[in-house]
Structure 1
Amino acid sequence: MNSAPLLPPGTSVAVIGAGRLGTVLARALEEAGLDVTGPIRRGESIPDADVALLAVPDAAIPGAADVARPHARLIGHASGATGLDDVDFSVHPLQTFTGSEPATVFHGIGAAIDGRDIDALDMAEQLARALGALPFRVHGRQRRAYHASASIASNLLLAVLDAAEQVAGSAGIHPDEARELLAPLVRQTVENWVDRGAAEALTGPIARGDEETVARQRAAIADDDPDLIPLFDELCDSTRALAARTENPA
Structure 2
Amino acid sequence: MSTPNQSRTVASVSVVGPGRVGRAASAALRAAGYIVHGPSGRGDAVERADVVLLCVPDREIAAVSAAVRDRGRFVGHTSGATPLAGTDADFGLHPLRAFVGDEGSAAFEGIGCAIAGTSPDALGLAEELALAVGGRPFEVRDDQRAGYHAAASIASNFLVTLEDAAEAMAEASGLPAAEFRGHLVPLVRGTVENWAEHGPRAALTGPIARGDEETVRSQRAAVSTTAPELLALFDELAARTRILARTEESPA
TM-score by length of 2: 0.91
Aligned counterpart in structure 1 of residue 141 of structure 2, from 139, 142, 145: 139
Q: Please show how residues 63-212 of structure 1 align to structure 2 within 5 Å.
A: 63-85=63-85, 86=87, 87-212=89-214
Deviation for aligned residue 1:6: 4.3
Residue deviations 1:192-230, cap 9 Å, x none? Answer: 111111111111111111111111111111222111111
Kept in 1, the 8 Å contact 2:12–2:35? The answer is yes
Q: Separation in 2 of the partners of 1:223 and 1:39? A: 51
CA deviations 1:107-135 (Å, max 9, x no partner) are 11110101111111111011101110011
- Is the Cα–Cα contact under 8 Å of residues 21 and 99 in structure 1 kept in the other structure? no
2:182 and 2:7 map into 1 onto residues whose CA distance is 42
Deviations 1:165-185 (A, max 9, x none): 111212333232222110111
Q: Does 1:44 align with 2:44?
A: yes
Q: Separation in 2 of the partners of 1:60 and 1:188?
A: 39
Letter paired with 1:7: R
Q: Does 1:20 align with 2:20?
A: yes
Q: Determine if contact 2:112/2:138 at 8 Å carries over to the other structure.
A: yes
Deviation at 1:72, TM superposition (A): 0.7
Contact 1:49-1:73 within 8 A present in 2 as well? yes
**Which runs of no fewer than 5 residues in structure 1 stay unpaired?**
246-250
Residue 15 of structure 1 contacts residue 37 of structure 1 at CA under 8 Å; is this kept in 2?
yes
Query: Is 1:6–1:130's contact at 8 Å kept on the other side of the alignment?
Result: no
**Alpha-carbon distance in 2 for matches of 1:123, 1:178:** 47
**Deviation for aligned residue 1:243:** 0.6
Question: Does the aligned pair in 2 maintain the 1:7–1:130 contact within 8 Å?
Answer: no
Please list every run of at least 4 consecutive aligned residues from structure 1 whose deviation after the TM superposition is greater than 4 angstroms: 3-6
Q: Larger % of helix: which? A: 1
C-alpha displacement of 1:104: 1.2
The size of the alignment, in residue pairs, is 243
CA RMSD of aligned residues (A): 1.9
- Aligned mates of 2:176, 2:8 — CA distance in 1: 50
Percent identity between the aligned chains?
50
Give 1:99 deviation, angstroms.
3.0
Aligned to 1:7: 8
TM-score (ref. length: structure 1):
0.92
Distance in 1 (alpha carbons) for counterparts of 2:7 and 2:165: 45
- Taking the aligned partners of 1:40 and 1:154, their CA distance within structure 2 comes to 28
Q: One-letter code of the match for 1:233?
A: D
Aligned residues of 2:173 and 2:226 also touching (Cα < 8 A): no
Distance 1:219 1:105 in 2: 44
- Name the aligned partner's letter for residue 199 of structure 1: R
**Residue in structure 2 matched with residue 34 of structure 1 by the alignment:** 34
Q: Does 1:236 align with 2:238?
A: yes
1:127 aligned partner, one-letter code? L
